Structure 1
Amino acid sequence: MHFPEPPPAPAQEFPVEHLNIEFTGSGSEYFRIWIVNMLLLLVTLGLYWPWAKVRRLRYFWGNTLVDGDPLGFHGEAKQMFKGWVLVGVLFGLYNWASNFSAIAGLVAFVALAALWPALWRSSMAFRMGNTSWRGLRFRFVGSLKDAYLAHLPPFLVSLPFVILTLWIPDDPEADFPQWLGYAFLVVLALGVAVLPWLLWRMKAYQHRHYALGPLQTDFRAPLKSFYLLAIKPMLLVLIVIGPFLWLVWSGEGGQKVTEVLFPIIWVVPYLILAFWLFLFLGVGPWITTRMQNLVWTKTGNSQMRFISQLRFRSMLWLSIKNGLLIALTLGLYWPFAKVALARLRLEAVHIRTIADMGALLAADHERPQEAAGEAAGDFFGLDVGL
């Protein structure tokens, strides 16, 4: 007798959990930290910078709550000071070499470019390895090879630009070669064209290699999404500065610009201010909103993902408000603006997960912790920006 096979067992369903992000900092609290940092930076001629940064990071991390529990920052200022000195020495040597001779500047640029991806990766490993949530350290697991590949676009564009500077006449009264001007313009256009590619490679490298316990993120935003995001601001900027570029690179160039601008020279400062406001209060908030929503919503894995719902209207209004109050208070509103901006951007993000975070973290706590050791072993202790 043939018995029918039993139906397959239904796949186990995991409830979807939403982990909200909350920022509890206040402008008045951070103002006290900020003003002390500024005074100590002035007294120490900038040497207090690593200690100031540690105080700032610990305040912002400690007031960032993920599912009700704050982040922690465990980096030491002494370790960061070594990285700060190293980066300062490298840029100082580059500037000295550039002033010494054009060829020496080119050699220094290649040397700095060869070292920079390793320093950038070290910075992210240090920052993540010294950040914790519920007692567990984050990790950054990107390889050194991928860090160099991520920096390939800016190097390919910057190297021809630096090489072209070798042909700039040393005598300021000498005629500037017309072919050199066109060459600079071509390199500049190429740099603008590859900028979205650069951003995509950098963000992909960062967001594919964040890890907490057994979870590691992936990045699923395609390259075309970055070009689509960049089209509007590029067109707007081109419309604004296009006529000026046309005057410079057509006919007698500088003479034609002088003939046009001299009768209305009094308007130039207002035009510069209007252009700055256009970028800061218009294009800037739009790019920030679109970039955050794109990058973080495309970050995650099969068990969890980030969702960013930052609104342009809110970002635009806050940018206008912060800009006006910073100007009216001669800069004293800056810490209040930083806190307001952090709250708006952080609380626009939440985490959607089907994983039992408590069980995952508890299981990982039972294993030997390597993240703190990795961070301590990173002798550079750099923090060149994430």
Structure 2
Amino acid sequence: MLKGTRETPIEFTGKAGEYFGIWIVNLLLSIITLGIYSAWAKVRRKKYLYQHTLIDGVGFDYHASPVAILKGRVIAFVFFMAYIFSQNISPFLPMVFAFIILFLMPWMVIRTMAFNARNSSYRGLRFDFTGGMREAAFTFVGLPILFIVTLGLILPYMVMRQSRYLLENHKFGLTAFSMTAKAKDFYLIYGKVLLLVMGIGVAISALVTLSLDKDTLLNAVKDMQAGAAVANFGAIMASFILFYLLLILGSGAYVQSRVSNLIWNSTTLGNLSFRSNLRARDMLWLYLSNLLLIACSFGLLTPLAYIRMMRYRISHLNLTGETDFDRFVGDKKVDAKATGAEMAEMFDIDLSFG
């Protein structure tokens, strides 16, 4: 950051107790109404999170109509149930539905982003999303197919293209976001993780190979005959599972923090830029502690885990530059339909970035 440049923190003031109250009421009413209230629950939850995310003491806002969301969910639910029951009619029908979903993927991506953007505002000015169908088809259909063909080697490039598409087609008023991160930057992050995992794998293989000499095998047979091998095997398996869990979560924390930092640190909005400084060890601690909280509470502390993660991520994201939002202008947007957004949610399509 240049000397003298103003840096404005983005704050999150949401509290776990308040969010838990919203979460539990939403859950109970959604169950009682057989899912009908879930549309109102979604708006209520998003409003709380948006309004407690502040820049210069002013929060964001969410304006979606619960009725529009409910209509979209009904259509998405009917389509989903048709897909489920099609398996009982013909073994080929699920494949037809899968191709339909693949064909609709670009449309669902665009509709999801447009619906969320046009129903989000800051200081009364709405966001927008203007992504094109052709680029969405290449980014969210073509690249995942190439991911399979290339045995995953294209993953960093795919993440870069998807992040750029989602970010650069967003606007605040009439001003578009811009991202300058290159594919090589993403390959560097994923390459470091791959080398680390491969190094650990080679070290473990060498250790196992060296330990499995003739005497060790004979002793193992004697222990098994004596019944002591059961306890030893259990301890070994438990240690292996714990190590594997730490390796997966650690790799995920590193990738998530580094990719998020890369995306936001290369993003600008007009005269504003962003600075993100997430740390892998902090993310790993949050992953582990949140997993423990959720498991020990049988899911009841899920809201606490969510608030902890959101507070950490937002508290490590700042704006750089003069936050004079009066210079941003906008026009009236055509309301986006909720159908595509709810279909994407129904089929668990993750469209987040950063």
Which bin holds the TM-score, normalised by the shorter protein? 0.7 to 0.9
1:200 aligns with 2:169: no
* Deviation (angstroms), 1:343: 0.9
Which among 260, 265, 286 is matched to residue 318 of structure 1?
Answer: 286
Secondary structure of 1:132 counterpart: strand
Q: State how far apart, in whole Å, the 2-side matches of 1:90 and 1:233 are.
A: 39
* Deviation (angstroms), 1:240: 7.9
Say what the alpha-carbon RMSD is for the aligned residues: 3.1
Secondary structure of 1:382 counterpart: helix
Secondary structure of 2:127 counterpart: strand
Which among 341, 344, 347 is matched to residue 382 of structure 1?
Answer: 341
Q: State how far apart, in whole Å, the 1-side matches of 2:155 and 2:27 are.
A: 34
Change (3 A) 1:101 1:149: same
Secondary structure of 1:307 counterpart: strand
Partner in structure 2 of residue 275 of structure 1: 244
Partner in structure 1 of residue 48 of structure 2: 59
Q: Could you tell me which amino acid in structure 2 is paired with residue 206 of structure 1? A: L
Change (3 A) 1:100 1:231: farther
Change (3 A) 1:310 1:74: same
* Deviation (angstroms), 1:23: 0.4
Q: How does 1:1-386 map to 2 (within 5 A)?
A: 16-97=5-86, 100-157=89-146, 187=148, 190-235=150-195, 271-272=240-241, 274-280=243-249, 282-301=250-269, 303-354=271-322, 356-358=324-326, 360-361=327-328, 364=329, 369-371=331-333, 374-375=334-335, 377-378=336-337, 380=339, 382-383=341-342, 384=345, 385-386=351-352
Change (3 A) 1:73 1:105: same
* Deviation (angstroms), 1:72: 0.3
* Deviation (angstroms), 1:127: 0.5
Q: State how far apart, in whole Å, the 2-side matches of 1:106 and 1:240 are.
A: 40
Q: Could you tell me which amino acid in structure 1 is paired with residue 271 of structure 2? A: Q
* Deviation (angstroms), 1:136: 0.8
Task: Say if 2:12 and 2:53, in contact at 8 Å, map to a contact too.
Answer: yes
Q: State how far apart, in whole Å, the 2-side matches of 1:30 and 1:74 are.
A: 19
Q: State how far apart, in whole Å, the 1-side matches of 2:279 and 2:21 are.
A: 30
Q: Could you tell me which amino acid in structure 1 is paired with residue 79 of structure 2? A: L
Change (3 A) 1:50 1:272: farther
* Deviation (angstroms), 1:237: 5.6
Q: State how far apart, in whole Å, the 1-side matches of 2:272 and 2:189 are.
A: 25
Q: Could you tell me which amino acid in structure 2 is paired with residue 275 of structure 1? A: Y
Task: Say if 2:108 and 2:340, in contact at 8 Å, map to a contact too.
Answer: no
* Deviation (angstroms), 1:214: 3.3
* Deviation (angstroms), 1:202: 1.2
For structure 1, list consecutive stretches of 5 or more residues without a partner in the other structure: 1-14, 159-186, 245-262
Change (3 A) 1:92 1:312: same
Q: State how far apart, in whole Å, the 2-side matches of 1:101 and 1:236 are.
A: 46
Q: State how far apart, in whole Å, the 1-side matches of 2:332 and 2:196 are.
A: 48
Change (3 A) 1:237 1:102: farther
Partner in structure 2 of residue 11 of structure 1: none
* Deviation (angstroms), 1:83: 2.3
Q: State how far apart, in whole Å, the 2-side matches of 1:307 and 1:226 are.
A: 17
Change (3 A) 1:90 1:278: farther
Summarize deviations over 1:137-179 as a string: whole Å, max 9, x none: 1111212222212113355258xxxxxxxxxxxxxxxxxxxxx
For structure 2, list consecutive stretches of 5 or more residues without a partner in the other structure: 206-228, 346-350
Change (3 A) 1:150 1:328: same
| Stretch deviating more after TM superposition (99-108 or 320-329) | 99-108
TM value normalised by structure 1: 0.72
Change (3 A) 1:278 1:87: farther
| Stretch deviating more after TM superposition (26-35 or 229-238) | 229-238
Task: Say if 2:72 and 2:337, in contact at 8 Å, map to a contact too.
Answer: no
Q: State how far apart, in whole Å, the 1-side matches of 2:97 and 2:200 are.
A: 35
Task: Say if 1:25 and 1:63, in contact at 8 Å, map to a contact too.
Answer: yes
Q: State how far apart, in whole Å, the 2-side matches of 1:320 and 1:104 are.
A: 41
Secondary structure of 1:217 counterpart: strand
Percent identity between the aligned chains?
Answer: 32
* Deviation (angstroms), 1:354: 4.9
Secondary structure of 1:331 counterpart: coil
Task: Say if 1:113 and 1:155, in contact at 8 Å, map to a contact too.
Answer: no
Secondary structure of 1:25 counterpart: coil
Task: Say if 2:170 and 2:176, in contact at 8 Å, map to a contact too.
Answer: yes
